[in-house]
Amino acid sequence: MEGLTHFNKGDIYKTHLIWEHIWKNGNDEIRRNIKGWIQLTGGLIKRNNGKDIAAKYLLTKAVTNIQKAKWISQIINTQSTINQVNNLLYIMGQGENKSVKIVITEQ
């Protein structure tokens, strides 16, 4: 939950590092469940750095992998996150560069 707290405070890079640490030390099931979340933070970092093509790619992959995550959806409202990411992808597709804050909520 530490990563979730940092994410919602806007510290995306720290969240990314926390979740990567979990990935590196986790088993296959943990990796499957956190993969999309790491891609989400990676995509947001890319967007913040003006790398929109890479951001769109990672955010799209994040949606797919968050949808596949099974046990984490018992803890986190994954559908809300997916909806927010899809909204961001839509905004990016329209060529808009407005700031969008994604908030991850618990179930």
Q: What is the pLDDT of residue 2?
A: 78
Where does residue 76 fall: left (phi above 0), alpha (psi -120 to 50 degrees), or beta otherwise? Answer: beta
pLDDT, residue 69, reads 87
pLDDT exceeds 80 at position 82 = yes
Non-local (6+) Cβ contacts of 97 within 8 A are: none
Q: What are phi and psi of 41, to 5 degrees?
A: -65, -40
CATH number corresponding to 2-93: 1.10.3450.10
Query: What residues does each domain of the chain span?
Result: 2-93
Residue 55 φ then ψ, to 5°: -65, -50
Q: In this predicted model, what pLDDT tens digit does every residue of 3-62 receive, in sequence order? A: 889 999 999 999 999 999 999 999 999 999 999 999 999 999 999 999 999 999 999 999
pLDDT at 18: 94
Arithmetic mean of pLDDT, 73-81 = 90
Between residues 66 and 73, the one the model is more confident about: 66
pTM of the model: 0.93
Residue 1 pLDDT > 80: no
Which residues, 6+ apart, have CB-to-CB distance to 100 below 8 Å? Answer: 84, 87, 88, 91
pLDDT, position 90: 95
What is the average per-residue pLDDT within 79-90? 96
Cβ pair 102, 85 in contact under 8 A: yes
Helix, coil or strand: residue 75: coil
